[in-house]
Each structure stands twice: as C-alpha cells, then as structure tokens.
Amino acid sequence: MTQYWVIRGSERHGPYEEGDVLEGFALGKMGPSDLLWVEGMREGVPIADVMANFGVAPPSEPPPALEPLAPSAPSPYRPPSARVDDLPEFALGDIQYAGFWVRFAASLLDSLVILVIALVLGFVLGVVMGVLRIPIGKGAQWPKVFGFAVSWLYFATLESSARCATYGKRAFHLQVLGADDLSRIGFARASARWIGRFASTLLFMIGYLLQPFTPRKRALHDYIAGTVVVVQGYYSRALVVTIVLLLLGGPIILGLLLGAGLKMLQILGH
C-alpha cells in the first residue's frame, strides 16, 4: 500500500495512508501550502493540487501545527492498522543513502562507546561478585556472553528508538529505516540486523565490502533485516576522515612508536 509524507517547511511528517491525507486535509490539519511526497519523487507536490484531483476543497482557515491524524471517533477513511510516525527526516530533494566510509566511521565510534559501556558495567559486576564472594572460574564464558549482550542491546535498542540511530550514527546524522517504507523499525528487526552483522563478517567481511556497489548502498545485514541507512542531514567529511585515522590508524601508529622506543632502549642498553 502506498504511503505518503507531508512536508511542512524543512520537516517531513509521516508516513500516512491515503485516507489519513484525505481526512487530514478536509479537517484542516494539512494546508494547501504543504507538500505531499512519496518515495521515488524528486520533490514534493503542493497538496492543494493533489486534493483538487480528488475534489476535496481546501480548508477555510490556516492549518494548526501538524499532528498525528488520530480522529476522536472511528472513521471509514482510516485503515484499521494505519501507522503514524513523526520523524524529522529529510528536507526536500532526493534521499541520500549513507556511503561506506561514513558508516565505517560511525561503526568505529559505536565500538568505542560499547567498549566504554562494557568496561564500566564489567567493573561494577566484578565489584559486586567480589563483595558477594562469587568465584570467577578460569576460562569462564560469561564475559563473552556479557559482551555480546551489551552489543546486542546497544544496537537493537537505539536503532529501534525514536532517533532510529546509535550514538555513532547520530554523530553523522544517519538513520536506520525500513527499506520498504522508510519508517522506523522495531526491536525485533533491529535485533535481526545485529545478528546479520555476523553474516557480513564471513568470507573476509565481504558483506560489508559489497555495500558501496549495491542499490541504495545496502550491506548484507541490511538485506537480511530489510533496512537501509539514510543521511538525515549534513555531516562533516573531515570528521569522517579524522575518526577513521584516529580510531583505526592511531593504535597502529602508537604500536610502531612503542616498538621503535623499545628498540632504541635496547640499543642504548648495549
């Protein structure tokens, strides 16, 4: 079923079903100056022009602030399972799908955030186990399970939240949305996307490397979960380069400097 978005100013509201749009325009919740947009269009179309084809007269008063179109009583125009999500997403124009390097930089930031969270929670858990005198057996597997749980809840909770993004993606104004209707995904689909990451790492991470060459720039786990990653607003390319160099190249450079320092100490010691 076709879904519609209403653009007012620089914000896009939706998705709405056809009955929602018709009813909202007739009730004055949408004005003739608002634009109607569906996926695939380069720009929105004045809603007054669209409504003229349906024979719906424009409202006599200026519309109030756009709100979810929930009538006080059941309406014959409203499908029983209509969804309304108000996400401030894109300005007018084509949808921009996130490229490889900005997604890579966002994943590096997410890895850093997860590491900090895991260290803090691990420390707290270790202190509690020490106070309760709970022994930590050698070769125990629970730290790995704990780390997986932290990663899963981090990605699944944040990508299914109202912001549709982890903290790494928020730094670059990215959102994870459903590929079929560009709407907010649920916790189950976000969990499937997290699990799909393991498939993307197989065969030398080919699932990630194919992402720049696929339609809508989707990685393997995006296909598994039925998602896309879109650019919500402007992000700094310089920040992308800085993050990649610091978080990826930094440890390598630090290791080389440390090795050179140790070698110099050995030479001076002879």
First CA to last CA distance, the chain: 78
Quick one: tokens of 123? Answer: 């420390």
Q: What share of the chain is helix, strand, coil (3-state, %, to 5)?
A: 50, 10, 40
Residue-wise pLDDT for 245-262, tens only, equals 988 877 777 777 777 777
| Residues recorded for the chain | 270
Task: Tell me how far apart the alpha carbons of residues 45 and 38 are, in angstroms, rounded to a whole number.
Answer: 9
Q: In 76-210, at which residue ranges do the beta strands (DSSP E only) sit? A: 174-178
Among residues of the chain, what percentage have pLDDT more than 90?
A: 41
Contact predicate 239/172, CB 8 Å = yes
Quick one: tokens of 206? Answer: 């080919």
Overall pTM > 0.85: no
Give residue 55's pLDDT: 60
Residues 6+ apart with CB under 8 A from 144: none
In this prediction, residue 75 has a pLDDT band, given cuts at 50, 70 and 90, of very low
In this prediction, residue 62 has a pLDDT band, given cuts at 50, 70 and 90, of low
Residue-wise pLDDT for 158-212, tens only, equals 999 999 999 999 999 999 999 988 889 999 999 999 999 999 998 789 999 999 9
Quick one: tokens of 197? Answer: 């990451």
Q: Burial, 8: exposed, middle or buried (Cβ in 10 Å; 0-12, 13-18, 19+)? A: middle
Give residue 93's pLDDT: 42
Residues 6+ apart with CB under 8 A from 114: 150, 151, 154
Strand partners, 230: 97, 175
> In this structure, how many other beta carbons lie within 10 angstroms of the beta carbon of residue 262?
10
| CA-closest candidate to residue 111, choices 84, 57, 86, 147 | 147
Average pLDDT, the chain: 79
